[in-house]
Amino acid sequence: MLRGDKVGLRARHAADTPILHAELYDDVVVRSRANTRPWLPISPDSDDSPFAITEPSDTVALFSVVDLDSDEVAGAAQLWGIDLHNRSGNLGVTLRPSFRGRGLGTDVVRVLVRYGFDTRGLHRLQLGTLADNEAMIHAAKAAGFTLEGTLREAAWANGAFVDEVTFGLLAAEQPGA
């Protein structure tokens, strides 16, 4: 398990999938803001569930987020779009509603940064979110990411086009590097 101050990131367990699917996928309004693909009705036991257990890959690393205080599954995190030639990747975090607002997301981002740079040997990490996602923007800035741009009305979320923001972090800029 990869450990931060408040969270651990570990491989997804079979028992995690129904919890994550019910709270993070079946909430259509929130899921539609967190993902650029349209929401579709998918069963939690389907291989198409975004929280289904998959085989390890060179291009994506999926984690369950565990709250270290309670040992409960707090959400999901991923390093995705890993490009081994350019040594870059993207990161994403989603937390169950009862775990939001406690600083866990910031800790998850920091752990993913360490994993991407120190374990995977990447040079650049990128994070994209909706421009009004204050929690993710705070987490990105707290982990040392720099705002690189705004994509105007680039996302369709719940019946409206909204701006996306992109943040980047280079290995040499990693706090403590």
pLDDT at 36 over 80: no
Q: Return d(Cα 85, Cα 129) in angstroms, integer.
A: 25
Digit-coded pLDDT (tens) for 50-95 = 888 888 899 999 999 999 999 999 999 999 999 999 999 999 999 9
Q: What HEC string does 132-164 produce? A: CCHHHHHHHHHCCCEEEEEEEEEEEECCEEEEE
pLDDT at 54: 87
Digit-coded pLDDT (tens) for 39-55 = 888 888 888 888 888 88
pLDDT at 34: 78
CB proximity list for 43: less than 8 A, separation 6 or greater: 49
pLDDT at 177: 65
Digit-coded pLDDT (tens) for 122-150 = 999 999 999 999 999 999 999 999 999 99
Which domains does the chain show, CATH number per domain?
2-173 (3.40.630.30)
